Amino acid sequence: MQPDYKVIASGNYLLKNVRLETGFDYDEKDVIRTKTDLFCVEIEKGTIKNILPGDAHSGGIDVNGKLMLPAFSDMHIHLDKTLYGLPWQAISPKRKTVKDMIAYEQEIIPELLKTSVERGGELISLLQSYGTTFARTHFNIDPTSGLQSLENLEKALEYKKDLFSAELVAFPQHGLYYTDSAHLMKEAAALKSVSFIGGLDPYSIDGNIEKVIDFTVQLALDYEKGIDIHLHEIGESGMKTISYLIDKVIENPILKEKTFISHAFTLGHLSSKETNEIAERLANAKVGIASSIPFRGTIMPVPALKKYGVNILVGNDNVQDHWSTFGSGNMLQKANLIAELYGYETEFELSRTLGFATRNVFPLNEKGEMQWPKAGDQANAVFLNASCSAEAVARVPKIEGLLIQDHLLWKEF
């Protein structure tokens, strides 16, 4: 954890003066304000035991009216590959393509692996300081690192297991066949700790969309895993890859709701008609999109995808690594970016935008009815200085406190 946070309670305890959202105020049909009130929240063994009126108890830990929101989830990140913790280094202008980066990684991975446990731990701490308690993290599977990236990542996660959790994606960063990685992917897929089978640009890296997707799908079926494929390609090959993956999921319904396409940049280069058609196909097959919300030359059609019910997950992807100079690790900031990019600026729209940071967990449903937190929910939450979730998204206040499993951590309590 970052040095300015400390554990102030664990096990069973009571929080008082917790600000929770209770409903919407309307001007005719328009939401103009979010209502809140103060409550007591009982925590027992990492679970919310009870939500009580604000004056129900005189004792307990006083959080002084801080707003309690669902903890954040980063649904696309590479915890095994970061320069965070090393001296500052911007990306090189010499490496323009994914294949350029593969060659560069083959050079630097042996040295980076020497400190990847420590740097992975530091990156996890950075995410925690911004309110993230869960991540879907990809890890390299390639001939240069073998399974060592996974082994080091698991060590970093073990050190943080009381304060952070993750699901792991085996990612053939150097291609399945462009480098000899298929047998390593089979080894990784057999491991219980691995939840998803990844992939990378089947056409531009491996030269064969069907061969790569067929291998990936079969591996997922054989080992009962999900799928999460990086697809940077635009144009015909990008669309063909998406369509072929949708077809395979329809053939194998067990993969519905377990299959994701990361990036899918090609969706940002379609006509409105083409966007609507592929959005409908993605939604019907229950194939989700995991996005870092790019905005340099590619604006993802998030509103259209949401309109058709496509499951959109959001993550930081790179956090100051050799692929990107940028990346703060702050999921609330990412929600703020989404609001600005797509013009989500009303009270209601901003409240819904919070879901991109919380994996679609909202304090209020769309009718303004309380739905989180409730008894039985996991005690994962953030506390901040804001009147409501809409203000939190618009102003991105600092995280003051964290509920992570059965621990309460606070900054300058």
Q: Is 195 helix (H, G, I), strand (E, B) or coil?
A: strand
Q: So what's the pLDDT on residue 86? A: 82
Exposed, middle or buried by CB within 10 Å (0-12, 13-18, 19+), for 137?
A: buried
Q: How many residues does the chain have?
A: 413
Q: So what's the pLDDT on residue 3? A: 45
Torsion of the alpha carbons at 203, 209, 214 and 220, rounded to the nearest 10: 50
Residues 308-363: tens digit of each pLDDT: 999 999 999 988 888 888 889 999 999 999 999 999 999 999 999 999 999 999 99
Q: What is the residue type of 121?
A: G
Q: So what's the pLDDT on residue 1? A: 42
CATH of domain 5-71+363-411: 2.30.40.10
Q: So what's the pLDDT on residue 22? A: 98
Give Cβ neighbours of residue 340 (< 8 Å, ≥ 6 apart): none
In the chain, which residues fall in CATH 2.30.40.10?
A: 5-71+363-411
Q: So what's the pLDDT on residue 260? A: 98
What CATH number does domain 75-342 carry, 3.40.30.10, 3.20.20.140, 3.30.2030.30, 2.40.170.20? 3.20.20.140
Q: Is 247 helix (H, G, I), strand (E, B) or coil?
A: helix
Which residue numbers in the chain have pLDDT < 70? 1-4, 413
Q: So what's the pLDDT on residue 215? A: 98
* Closest of 115, 88, 114, 128 to residue 7, by C-alpha: 128
User: What is the C-alpha to C-alpha distance for residues 20 and 48, in angstroms, rounded to an integer?
Assistant: 14
Q: So what's the pLDDT on residue 322? A: 80
In the chain, which residues fall in CATH 3.20.20.140?
A: 75-342
pTM to 2 decimals? Answer: 0.95
